Amino acid sequence: MPIEAIEPRRLYRQVADQLRQLIDAGEFGVGDRLPTERELAEKLGISRPTVREALIALEVEGRVRIRVGSGIYVTKPRQTAAAAVPAEGPFELLRAREFIEGAIAAEAAARVRPTDVERLDDVLARMATAPHPSPATLSLDREFHTTVTAILDNAVLVRFVGELFDQRVNPYFERLSRYFENPETWRLALEEHRAVRDAVVAGDPEAAKAAMRRHLRLSQQRFTLSFGETAAAGGAAVEEEASGATR
């Protein structure tokens, strides 16, 4: 069964389906190593992040095992039911948040009050001392974003932003985070949160929007580093890419 090109508009789940079919058809047996992420992207005609999303989905299902620095290996299917994979991948989710929360941050900058500043500073202070990765940092990250949203005095928006954030609390996103999140990525994210805070407190809507969108764009890019790259090198690459990005 030959590998067929995937149209760019297709989602990672179609890629996972094709790779699963190849495994089931015997193209790759248990213990075999799949082509590299780069090779799969070239053969399928799609981006490497999309391949990465598909591979993570297959690992969550128990169909492959990712060994950082070694490769992706086919594993024996589990006897238990596979974990449900969300319809949208993390990159699609973060892109949506980039647009939505960018607009919210701009409006927050126009409405910010002294009590809002106190709440933001309190969250940031707790974020600075929390160990990462951990459930505590995930909760604090969520709290920061909902605190920015709360400046608008709109409970619907606060709930909506919270629900968007909560979509990352699933086995799929947890597995992805396991590979790419570490104390260095948390340090970078904390700096980005502080930049959002500073722009909002300064009452500069355009700067607040840009800071929030930059943070969520960099969050996407941190998940696009190849398996096995160091956080330090990756952070520098991400920053360089972001500085040259235009939208």
DSSP three-state, residue 119: helix
pLDDT tens digit sequence for 143-165: 999 999 999 999 999 999 999 99
Per-residue confidence band for 84, with pLDDT thresholds at 50, 70 and 90: low
Any alpha helices (H) in 112-245, and if so which ranges? 114-129, 135-150, 155-166, 171-180, 183-201, 205-222, 231-243
Tell me what the pLDDT averaged over the chain comes to: 83
pTM: 0.72
Structure tokens at 181: 């999140």
Q: What phi-psi label fits residue 71: left (phi over 0), alpha (psi between -120 and 50 degrees) or beta?
A: left
DSSP bridge partners of 174? none
Distance separating alpha carbons of residues 69 and 87, to the nearest angstrom? 29
pLDDT tens digit sequence for 13-72: 888 889 999 999 989 999 999 998 889 889 888 888 888 888 888 988 889 998 877 889
For the chain, the domains span: 12-74, 90-243
- Minimal CA–CA distance to 187: which of 130, 244, 135? 130
- Minimal CA–CA distance to 157: which of 167, 148, 166? 148
127: CB partners within 8 A, 6+ apart: 137, 140, 141, 144, 190, 193
Per-residue confidence band for 234, with pLDDT thresholds at 50, 70 and 90: very low
Domain spanning 90-243, CATH architecture? Up-down Bundle (1.20)
The CATH code for residues 12-74 is 1.10.10.10
